[in-house]
Amino acid sequence: MSLQTLTAPILLRDRLDYWAHKRPDADAIVFGDASYTWAQWRPRILQLTDALRLAGIKRGDRILTFDQNHLAITELTLAASALGAGTVVGNFRLAPSQLSYILADSAPKIVFYGAELHGILQAANAETPLPRTIVIGGENDEYEPFLATGSAEADGAAEGGDDVVPEDTVLVMYTSGTTGKPKGVELTHRGVNAHSELANIGFGLTPEDVNMVAMPMFHVGGSCYLLIGVHAGATTILLREPTGPAMIQSILQGATHAFLVPAVFQAVLAAGPEAAAVFGRLKRLGYGSSPMPLPLLEKSLQAWPNTELAHVFGMTEMSGIGTMLQGSDHTHPPRPQVLQSVGRALPGFEVRITDPMTGEVLPTGVTGEIQVRGEQNMKGYLNRPEDTAAVFTPDGFLRSGDLGHLDEDGYIYVVDRLKDMIISGGENIYSPEVENVLMAHPDVVEGIIMGVPDPKWVETVKAVVVREPGSTVSQEEIIAFCREHLAHYQCPTSVDFVDELPRNATGKVLKRELREPYWRGHERRI
């Protein structure tokens, strides 16, 4: 295979092949005590590809990984993709019944699982019989012996039979289920490669950089973010868990880039000036996956003046991100409100705003549903043709389910999830606007709003707040503070105080879980 062909990747593994030719002795990936150069890592993937082929994996099949972040997940993704097979990356925090659902839905031929998760897997087995299982790590590790059954010289991809095409599925990532039953999102060679190419325009990874991957790999912010680094030829440091000490150690070892959720920003800044100073060594720090309150962003900009921040907007169905607020937009915004945007569409990616009911394209400044189109969009939902048809428009745009608007310069403002918008007395209330005000209160660590039933207004605004330790701020004081900065109809009419907000594994607040007790017994669920 020529270097010219490898430069323009067609299949997922092409960039691994390219860097093994171009920079064989440079570090490719580090995971714990394991470290491989490109020339060392490529033969492992070839060997694993052949091992999967010998185990009967072929084009159109699926394997499943069920573990915390581990080198094996990426290796299996790259190896299986060369056979035309897809890797289902399971959420290691799933309860047995949830895992059973994903096993039944995705029907993997082999399950690779972390040794410490054996009990959960066996409990799931009671509901859904397991296929062949291979344990990763622990005293009885089966992964390395399985890999050793293949031959790097054979290259299972070449022996695998059917030709692999760019439209074949490489990853199946299950949606978080914050708004309903999880759906398996099928991502392709073409889509993931397109995402890596476009996303790196903003992240700016080079072969001289070191990319810290701390997000969980069952999320696109983990698996697909890692693949951006592979695409760019950067060294990847993969963390088992995103703990403070592990991230700090990685940065001290030379990490230059990272992608984190706003909740981690909050935790780092709360840990004190020494921890914040270490994160200030990063060249670029991306954030997304959940809203960034403006007060927290302002604190971050002040704490890390030499680090370029990049705010991204995306979803699993996009293979990751589709828009970016660049570093220069943070430090020299054309106008202050741009800091509350998610930036502009990446080159080659289209964004439009439409009426959620009619599909009519709306003019600049008018709020509607954000729709996106580009090569990186998913193939569809696994086993759900009706859901797939419903989420795509006839002209190929993906309905995001997010509400927002565009300004005259193309900056995109996400104002709420379509299902999270509160309608009180006929007035639309968008959560982030109110939540930014809540976060500005000096005694509030975190705050969200949600709609709860109201006999007069159909629904009204309730705030759920985490107070600063030792604070005795009252419901009345929170409501009065909001009324100083917002129209009365936007303000909470009641406040619940909690020790912490329920979140999924990627940091998103589970508003559905908070709303459920209030809407139980009502015909309408918001």
- Please report, for the chain, the start and end positions of each structural domain, with discontinuous segments joined by +: 36-188, 261-417, 422-519
253-271 burial, b at 16+ Cβ within 10 Å, e below that, comes to: eebbbbbbbbbbbbebbee
SS3 476: helix
Which residues contact residue 228 at a Cβ distance below 8 angstroms, ignoring those fewer than 6 apart?
A: 195, 196, 199, 200, 203, 205, 211, 320
* Under 8 Å between Cβ of 237 and 212: yes
Which residues contact residue 238 at a Cβ distance below 8 angstroms, ignoring those fewer than 6 apart?
A: 29, 30, 31, 69, 70, 71, 74, 213, 226
Residue 249's identity, in one-letter code, is Q
CB < 8 Å & 24+ apart, contacts of 477-484: 478/438, 478/441, 478/444, 481/437, 481/441, 482/434, 482/437, 482/438
pTM metric for this prediction: 0.83
pLDDT at 523: 45
215-240 burial, b at 16+ Cβ within 10 Å, e below that, comes to: bbbbbbbbbbbbbbbbbbbbbbbbbb
Which residues contact residue 153 at a Cβ distance below 8 angstroms, ignoring those fewer than 6 apart?
A: 46
CA 91 to each of CA 58, 61, 94, 179, 314: distance values in angstroms, whole numbers, following the listed order: 24, 20, 6, 17, 19
pLDDT at 19: 97
State the DSSP code for 107: -
102-118 burial, b at 16+ Cβ within 10 Å, e below that, comes to: bbebbebbbbbbbeebe
Q: Domain spanning 36-188: which CATH class is it, in words?
A: alpha beta
Give the phi and the psi of residue 358 in degrees, each rounded to 5. Answer: -100, -20
| Fold match, 36-188 / 261-417 | yes
pLDDT at 432: 78
| Angle in degrees, CA 265, 246, 466, rounded to 5 | 35
pLDDT at 3: 36
- Nearest to residue 449, comparing CAs of 410, 417, 471? 417
Q: What are the structure tokens assigned to 8, written together?
A: 């323009």
Q: Domain spanning 261-417: which CATH class is it, in words?
A: alpha beta
The residues that bridge with 369 in the sheet, in sequence order, are 354, 403
* Calpha distance 319→285 (Å, rounded): 19
The residues that bridge with 286 in the sheet, in sequence order, are 259, 310
**pLDDT block averages, 10 residues each, the chain of length 526:** 52 95 97 97 97 96 97 98 97 87 96 96 89 95 98 74 88 73 93 95 95 95 97 98 94 96 88 94 91 86 95 94 94 90 93 92 95 96 95 95 93 83 73 86 92 82 94 94 86 94 77 83 50
* Calpha distance 448→23 (Å, rounded): 48
The residues that bridge with 353 in the sheet, in sequence order, are 370
Q: Domain spanning 422-519: which CATH class is it, in words?
A: alpha beta
* Under 8 Å between Cβ of 237 and 30: yes
Distance in Å from the first CA to the final CA of the chain: 55
69-81 burial, b at 16+ Cβ within 10 Å, e below that, comes to: bbbbbbbbbbbbb
